[in-house]
Amino acid sequence: PGRPFLYVYSSHAGTSTSYLSMFTVTGDVSDPTSGNLTISLGSQYNLHTDIPDVASNHNAGTLRFGTDKMLYVSLGDDATSCSAQDSTDLRGCILRLNVAGMPLSGSGPPTKSALVAAGNPYPGPTDNARLNYCGGLRNPFRFSVDRTTGDLFIADVGQNAFEEVDWVQHGHENFGWPF
């Protein structure tokens, strides 16, 4: 309630990028059953404006808060399969972001280093890698957070023959796509 925001992952018309944005929510935010909530679309703050989106498929886009209060974001391989093996590329991975320190106004985006969550498994060599929590995914279009353990369970779309459910316990897991 002290930081009431709605987070949205969207394609950006006319570009080859997707955006991750937050919008201010007002109203009775102390009551989760309240019908008195308003989302101010004029309050958009862009957290990311450079997520590749050159293909119309494999874009994923699920957002969940973990038990650690970090924002987890699934990104598909954007039909560029080998990018899923590159921790510096924002494709084929789950990001773990610290959004607690984002400003209450402005348009963004912040520096990527401002979003890096303490304890993320990749030390670099770039800020993209430092945002990465796990990789080697094709199209992690849905995932859930186990509220007891904090583990992630990812539904990753297979290629023609199978679907995959991946279990993330500690971060740093590589699920092997496309190999």
The pLDDT of residue 29 is 67
d(CA 126, CA 130): 6
Q: Cβ distance 143 to 154 under 8 Å?
A: yes
Burial of 123 (0-12, 13-18, 19+ CB in 10 A): exposed
Amino acid at 135: G
Q: Cβ distance 95 to 128 under 8 Å?
A: no
How many Å from the N-terminal Cα to the C-terminal Cα in the chain? 44
DSSP-assigned beta bridge partners for residue 152: 145, 168
Average pLDDT on 139-152 reads: 96
The pTM assigned to this predicted structure is 0.91
Average pLDDT on 82-106 reads: 91
- pLDDT at position 63 over 90: yes
d(CA 93, CA 52): 12
Q: Which of these ranges, 36-45, 110-119, 139-148, has the smallest mean pLDDT?
A: 36-45
The pLDDT of residue 106 is 82
d(CA 66, CA 90): 20
